[in-house]
Amino acid sequence: MDNQSTKPVVIVTGASSGIGKACAERFGKAGMRVAITGRNAERLEATAQELRQQGIECLAVPCDAAKKEENERMVQRVVEEWGQIDILINNAGISMRALFEELDLSVIEQVMQINFFGTVYATKYALPYIIERQGSIVGISSIAGYRGLPARTGYSASKFAMNGFLEALRTELLKKKVHVLTACPGFTASNIRNTALAKDGRPQGESPRDEKKLMSAEEVAEAIFKAVKKRKNTLVLTSQGKLTVFLNKWLPSKIMDKLVYNNLAKEKDSPLR
């Protein structure tokens, strides 16, 4: 068999840190060639060097997930380098925390552009190559894609949109034997809450949660790796995440609304009163 058949190629978007970086490391350690993307070229190259030091074949491609043309160029660069794409992990994302009534609408537009359209763009351009390899498309979604979270209207909307897109795509591609995984990590230790947008669009800075008590990015990456290997359709992580999805399906909405509100109102500096 030729080199293309024996060494799969995986693209991980938003891989400079957190879950993306952990996924790049986990899939790379499994012998795959890894292309990583991110907006900050300097941070991206530093991550690539870390991966190469671990013996991982890595290509760093600067790309703003929110920009259609950059996604197209990114996919072309990977194909030029390695001639194939086996797995696409749509991880690039941003969060927000503010009451909708106080929110600048540009915040929701930015969150939707990165989280939802970023997934759409990368998937669109990578899809022909993934179909050719009967590979995998992964979307790193959230529990917020199953249950709307107060003070995170834009984030929830983007993840609901991602879930619907991936479910429809999975069904479309059924006979082409392309695997589509919707992965919902739950609260995970990463910098997504530090960079989450406040009501005026500026990063909120300090995380409202105790990051040390959350599932690690490495644990999430391991679970995603196993789910891709088994070609699972969905992955919901953390006991809190699984319980939330279960209760949201079976409890009356009035009860669930109160439970969710009271839980998130306990966060540090919560806008919920």
DSSP string, 72-123: HHHHHHHHHHHS---EEEE-----B-S-GGG--HHHHHHHHIIIIIHHHHHH
Does 125 participate in catalysis according to the annotation?
no
Read off the pTM: 0.92
Catalytic choice (125, 129, 146, 155): 155
- Delimit the domains of the chain by residue range: 3-265
**CA-to-CA separations, 143 to 37, 38, 155, 157, 172, in angstroms, rounded:** 24, 24, 11, 12, 24
Share the mean pLDDT of the chain.
92
CATH topology of domain 3-265: Rossmann fold (3.40.50)
What are the structure tokens assigned to 250, written together?
């079976």
Residue 15 has a pLDDT of 96
Residue 3 has a pLDDT of 47
Of all residues in the chain, what percent carry a pLDDT higher than 90?
A: 82
**Residue 129: which of 69, 176, 68 has the closest Cα?**
176
Q: Tell me the average pLDDT across 90-117.
A: 96
Q: pLDDT tens digit string along 151-180?
A: 999 999 999 999 999 999 999 999 999 999
Q: Cα separation of 191 and 14, whole Å?
A: 12
